[in-house]
Chains A and B, each alone.
Chain A
Amino acid sequence: GNSVTQMEGPVTLSEEAFLTINCTYTATGYPSLFWYVQYPGEGLQLLLKATKADDKGSNKGFEATYRKETTSFHLEKGSVQVSDSAVYFCALSVNQGAQKLVFGQGTRLTINP
């Protein structure tokens, strides 16, 4: 079946630290991959996406590269800020007709000043 596995949380870093949140997936066919972010008290927002192998999604200083050979889509940021504190969800979509998303378990990130 289709599934997403994320790095266990919570993750706590100091401001300006380097961030990596690991995400690996299992899918039939050729999925599109996404990172969604949920800030405290808000709904989910799309952070970035990649629709085919070797694509790199980027937004707000975050990056993730679609690695078919390792079935991974790790989220990285070179220098995190306090405002990046949120829950991050990796997700995939394999059924283009229905556009359903399968989510990972989420990783809570806290950035301390």
Chain B
Amino acid sequence: SAVISQKPSRDICQRGTSLTIQCQVDSQVTMMFWYRQQPGQSLTLIATANQGSEATYESGFVIDKFPISRPNLTFSTLTVSNMSPEDSSIYLCSVRLAGGNTGELFFGEGSRLTVL
């Protein structure tokens, strides 16, 4: 398994501001992903964080709104830009470990954002 640390764990933000969420993993990983879990909803994949290159975004998500960095194998950031109340969600970092089994992902505890 792995310890996945996300910061902040929660925050209350003002409309129009931006917030960066950090994800640090204590093990070697091959893949890192960012998911969003809106209130009462399931998880939706935002993007795959690629080391040293631009993230791969899913349909409906764009780099200008959710810029992502991954400077090394074990660290990534997600920024939620120009926030609106609709961005109030839990944002989760997820990883696949090096040598891990097919399809199995590990999740951080999430960052709960409330936008006023």
CB-based contact A93/B103 at 8 Å: yes
Contact of A46 among B4, B41, B104, B109 (CB under 8 A): B104
CB-based contact B107/A34 at 8 Å: no
Please indicate the chain A residues that have their CB under 8 angstroms from the CB of B92 in the complex: 43-44
Tell me the minimal C-beta distance from B96 to chain A in angstroms: 5
> Which residues of chain B from 5 to 60 have a CB within 8 Å of any chain A CB?
31, 33, 41-45, 48, 56
Please indicate the chain A residues that have their CB under 8 angstroms from the CB of B102 in the complex: 32, 51, 93, 96, 99
Question: Chain B: interface residue count, which band?
Answer: 20 to 34
Contact of B104 among A42, A43, A49 (CB under 8 A): A49
Tell me the minimal C-beta distance from A83 to chain B in angstroms: 19
Cβ-closest chain A residue relative to B6: A43
Q: When A32-B102, A43-B110, A93-B102 are in contact, do A106 and B31 touch as well, CB less than 8 Å?
A: no
Which residues of A are interface residues toward B (Cβ below 8 A)? 32, 34, 36, 42-46, 49, 51, 89, 93, 96, 98-106
Which residues of B are interface residues toward A (Cβ below 8 A)? 4, 31, 33, 41-45, 48, 56, 92, 94, 96, 101-110
Contacts beyond the supplied A42-B109, A106-B41: 17 A-B pairs with Cβ under 8 Å:
A32-B102, A44-B107, A46-B106, A89-B42, A98-B56, A99-B102, A100-B33, A100-B45, A100-B48, A101-B43, A101-B45, A101-B103, A101-B105, A103-B42, A103-B43, A103-B44, A104-B42
